[in-house]
Structure 1
Amino acid sequence: MTTPPLSLRARRAIVMTAAVLCPLVAGAQTIAKPAIGPERPFTAPARVERTLSNGLRVVAVRYPTVPKVSVVVTMQSGLAVDPVEKAGLAQFVADAVQEGTASRDSRVIRREIFAMGASLTAFAGQDTSSFTMRGLADTLPAMMSLVADVVRNPTFPQQEVDLLKANTAQALQAQLASPQFVANRVYRQTLFGPHPYGRVGAAPETVANIDRASIVEYHKTYYRPNNAFVVVTGDVTPDAAFAAAEKAFGTWARGTVPPPPTAALPALTGRKLVFVQRPNSVQSSISVGNFTIRRSDPRWAVMNVANQIYGGAFDSRLVRNIREDKGYTYSPQSTFQAMGQAGLYRAVADVRNDVTGATLKEIYGEIDRFREGGPAEAELVNAKTYARGLFVIQNATQNGLSATLNTIYSFGLPNDYPETFQKNVSSLSAEAVKTAAQMLLGSQDSVIVVVGDYTKVKDQLVGFTNITFVDISGKPITPPQ
Structure 2
Amino acid sequence: MRLHPQPTAGQATPWSFPRPSRDTLPNGLTVLRHHAPGQRVIAVEVHLTASLAAEPTAQEGVATIMARALSEGTDRLSAEEFAAELERCGATLDAHADHAGVRVSLEVPASRLARALGLLADALRVPAFPESEVERLVRNRLDEIPHELANPSRRAAVALSAALFPADSRMSRPRQGTTESVERIDAKAVRGYYEAHLRPAAATAVVVGDLTGIDLDAVLRDTLGAWTGPAATPPAWTPVAADDAGRVVIVNRPGAVQTQALIGRVGPDRHDPVWPAQTLGVYCLGGTITSRLDRVLREEKGYTYGIRAFGQVLRSSADRTGLSLLGIRGSVATEVTGPALADLWQVLRTLAAEGLTDAERDVAVQNLVGVAPLRFETAAAVAGTLADQVEEELADDYQATLYARLAETGTVEASVAAVRAFPEDRLVTVLVGDAEQIADPVRELGIGEVTVVDG
Alignment TM-score > 0.5, same fold? yes
Residue 373 in structure 1 maps to residue 348 in structure 2: no
- Where do 1:133-172 residues align within 5 Å? 133-172=106-145
Checking the alignment, whether the CA contact within 8 Å between 1:79 and 1:91 is kept in structure 2 is: no
- Structure 1 residue 60: Cα displacement: 1.2
For residues 375 and 147 of structure 1, the distance between their equivalents in structure 2, rounded to whole angstroms, comes to 48
Of all paired residues, the percent bearing the same amino acid is 28
* Cα RMSD, aligned residues only: 2.1
Residue 188 in structure 1 maps to residue 169 in structure 2: no
Q: 2:220 aligns with which of 240, 245, 249?
A: 245
Checking the alignment, whether the CA contact within 8 Å between 2:245 and 2:427 is kept in structure 1 is: yes
Checking the alignment, whether the CA contact within 8 Å between 1:45 and 1:63 is kept in structure 2 is: no
Q: Would the alpha carbon gap of residues 469 and 325 (structure 1) be closer, same or farther in structure 2, given more than 3 Å must change?
A: same
Secondary structure of 1:265's match?
Answer: coil
Q: Would the alpha carbon gap of residues 95 and 136 (structure 1) be closer, same or farther in structure 2, given more than 3 Å must change?
A: same
Q: Which amino acid aligns with 2:223?
A: A
Residue 382 in structure 1 maps to residue 363 in structure 2: yes
For residues 351 and 269 of structure 1, the distance between their equivalents in structure 2, rounded to whole angstroms, comes to 23
Q: Would the alpha carbon gap of residues 460 and 211 (structure 1) be closer, same or farther in structure 2, given more than 3 Å must change?
A: same
Secondary structure of 2:115's match?
Answer: helix
For residues 240 and 388 of structure 2, the distance between their equivalents in structure 1, rounded to whole angstroms, comes to 23
For residues 179 and 137 of structure 2, the distance between their equivalents in structure 1, rounded to whole angstroms, comes to 13
Cα deviations by residue, 1:345-398 (Å, 9 ceiling, x for unpaired): 111121111111112112222222223322101000110111102322122221
- Structure 1 residue 325: Cα displacement: 0.7
For residues 329 and 11 of structure 2, the distance between their equivalents in structure 1, rounded to whole angstroms, comes to 34
Residue 101 in structure 1 maps to residue 74 in structure 2: yes
Aligned to 1:467: 450
Q: Would the alpha carbon gap of residues 352 and 62 (structure 1) be closer, same or farther in structure 2, given more than 3 Å must change?
A: same
- Structure 1 residue 447: Cα displacement: 0.7
For residues 79 and 426 of structure 1, the distance between their equivalents in structure 2, rounded to whole angstroms, comes to 36
For residues 238 and 273 of structure 1, the distance between their equivalents in structure 2, rounded to whole angstroms, comes to 59
Q: Would the alpha carbon gap of residues 348 and 158 (structure 1) be closer, same or farther in structure 2, given more than 3 Å must change?
A: same
Q: Would the alpha carbon gap of residues 206 and 224 (structure 1) be closer, same or farther in structure 2, given more than 3 Å must change?
A: same
- Where do 1:338-357 residues align within 5 Å? 338=313, 339-340=315-316, 341-357=322-338
- Where do 1:60-75 residues align within 5 Å? 60-75=33-48
Aligned to 1:308: 283
For residues 116 and 270 of structure 1, the distance between their equivalents in structure 2, rounded to whole angstroms, comes to 53
Aligned to 2:5: none
Cα deviations by residue, 1:186-209 (Å, 9 ceiling, x for unpaired): 112211233332232222121112
For residues 269 and 79 of structure 2, the distance between their equivalents in structure 1, rounded to whole angstroms, comes to 38
Aligned to 2:300: 325
Q: 1:113 aligns with which of 80, 83, 86?
A: 86
TM-score, structure 2 normalization? 0.91
For residues 190 and 124 of structure 1, the distance between their equivalents in structure 2, rounded to whole angstroms, comes to 22
Q: Would the alpha carbon gap of residues 259 and 87 (structure 1) be closer, same or farther in structure 2, given more than 3 Å must change?
A: farther
Structure 2: unaligned runs, 5 residues or longer: 1-9, 317-321
For residues 383 and 375 of structure 1, the distance between their equivalents in structure 2, rounded to whole angstroms, comes to 11
- Structure 1 residue 59: Cα displacement: 1.0
Secondary structure of 1:365's match?
Answer: helix
Q: Which protein shows a greater Rg?
A: 1
For residues 183 and 234 of structure 2, the distance between their equivalents in structure 1, rounded to whole angstroms, comes to 26
Aligned to 2:260: 285
- Structure 1 residue 405: Cα displacement: 0.9
Cα deviations by residue, 1:143-189 (Å, 9 ceiling, x for unpaired): 11000111111111111111111111111112222111101111122
Q: Would the alpha carbon gap of residues 260 and 275 (structure 1) be closer, same or farther in structure 2, given more than 3 Å must change?
A: farther
Q: Name the stretch that deviates more: 152-161 or 61-70.
A: 61-70
Q: Name the stretch that deviates more: 236-245 or 178-187.
A: 236-245
Q: Which amino acid aligns with 1:240?
A: D
Q: Name the stretch that deviates more: 376-385 or 250-259.
A: 250-259
Q: Which amino acid aligns with 2:279?
A: N
Aligned to 1:405: 386
Cα deviations by residue, 1:213-250 (Å, 9 ceiling, x for unpaired): 22111111111111110001001159722221111122
Checking the alignment, whether the CA contact within 8 Å between 2:244 and 2:266 is kept in structure 1 is: no
TM-score, structure 1 normalization? 0.86
Could you list the structure 1 runs, at least 4 aligned residues long, displaced by more than 6 angstroms after superposition.
37-40
